[in-house]
Amino acid sequence: MEKKILVVDDEKLIVKGIKFSLEQEGYHVECAYDGEEAVQKIKEHDYDMVLLDLMLPKLDGMEVCRQIREQSDVPVIMLTAKGDDMDKILGFENGADDYITKPFNILEVKARIKAIFRRHQNVEQKKDGHSDTITVSNLVMDFEGRNVSVEGKEINLTVKEFDLLELLVRNSGKVYSRENLLNLVWGYEYPGDVRTVDVHVRRLREKIEPNPSDPKYVHTKWGVGYYFQA
């Protein structure tokens, strides 16, 4: 099935170039040129991915990402001319799954997109004839439906938050370094800061833990990394 991607950027030449390149890969591409238009399109249509510029008129990329997360867990890759690490951290805080700094090579953009789609495809292929659900204490993960609930309440996780939790839950007790988690969860040699993992773990704890400061599920092995244990 053809993947549908929304490209959001106020620089029309950049949008035109991305659109052309992605359509050459077989994707269906739609475009928006300001934050309000992007939010409206996402409300009206289903997309498989959003490429979202940070600096947008009307609503900036951070606000657009926040509003997307209120209604959808569609993967979001943020595009920005800023190289500041704080912008990256804020992007992840607001629910972005990945981050690419301008000027970028379109081959890198394609690689990031393919990595995220490949991760989802691999998840779908894990069906092996038995119920793909794990229950640990009050936490239930339905891997096939990509749903998580705690004490019967459904938790809205972003794509990367779900992928991170899935890896830890499927390998309960195993400690992963932040570098390993970057490579395994992001699906490629991620050229980013390991603080990306810390941000995602913190967001995950805020959503699934009864007391995020005293985790019940996702624990820290000081000096080593993170692991799941109930």
| Span 198-222, pLDDT tens digits | 989 999 999 999 999 999 999 999 9
Specify the pLDDT at position 191: 54
Specify the pLDDT at position 130: 47
Asked whether residue 230 carries a pLDDT value surpassing 80, the answer given is no
Specify the pLDDT at position 129: 45
Specify the pLDDT at position 2: 85
Q: Give the mean pLDDT of the chain.
A: 86
Asked whether residue 83 carries a pLDDT value surpassing 70, the answer given is no
Pairing assessment for the beta strands 49-53 and 4-8 based on DSSP bridges? parallel
Provide the percentage of residues in the chain whose pLDDT is more than 90: 50
- Name the strands in the sheet holding 98-101, side by side, starting at the edge strand that comes first in the sequence: 28-32, 4-8, 49-53, 76-80, 98-101
What residues contact 94, with CB distance under 8 A and at least 6 apart? 62, 65, 66, 69
Asked whether residue 192 carries a pLDDT value surpassing 80, the answer given is no
| Span 106-127, pLDDT tens digits | 998 998 898 888 766 654 555 4
- What SS3 class is residue 61? helix
Asked whether residue 24 carries a pLDDT value surpassing 70, the answer given is yes
Structure pTM? 0.65
Provide the percentage of residues in the chain whose pLDDT is more than 70: 89
Q: How far apart are the first and last CA of the chain?
A: 38
Q: Which tokens belong to 19?
A: 């659109």
Q: So where are the chain's domains?
A: 4-124, 133-228
Q: Of 28-37, 42-51, 138-147, give the lowest mean pLDDT range.
A: 138-147
Asked whether residue 17 carries a pLDDT value surpassing 80, the answer given is yes
**Is 123 in contact with 167 (CB distance < 8 Å)?**
no
Asked whether residue 150 carries a pLDDT value surpassing 70, the answer given is yes
**For residues 194 and 103, what is the distance between their CA atoms, to the nearest angstrom?**
22
CATH second-level architecture of 133-228? Orthogonal Bundle (1.10)
Specify the pLDDT at position 70: 83
CATH for 4-124 is 3.40.50.2300
What residues contact 152, with CB distance under 8 A and at least 6 apart? none
Mean pLDDT confidence for 154-175: 90
**Cα distances (angstroms) measured from residue 149 to each of 23, 74, 157, 209, 226:** 37, 19, 10, 11, 21
Q: Where are the beta strands (DSSP E) in 74-173?
A: 76-80, 98-101, 133-136, 139-142, 147-150, 153-155
Asked whether residue 128 carries a pLDDT value surpassing 60, the answer given is no
Q: Report which secondary-structure segment, H or E, holds 12.
A: helix 12-24
Mean pLDDT confidence for 69-87: 79
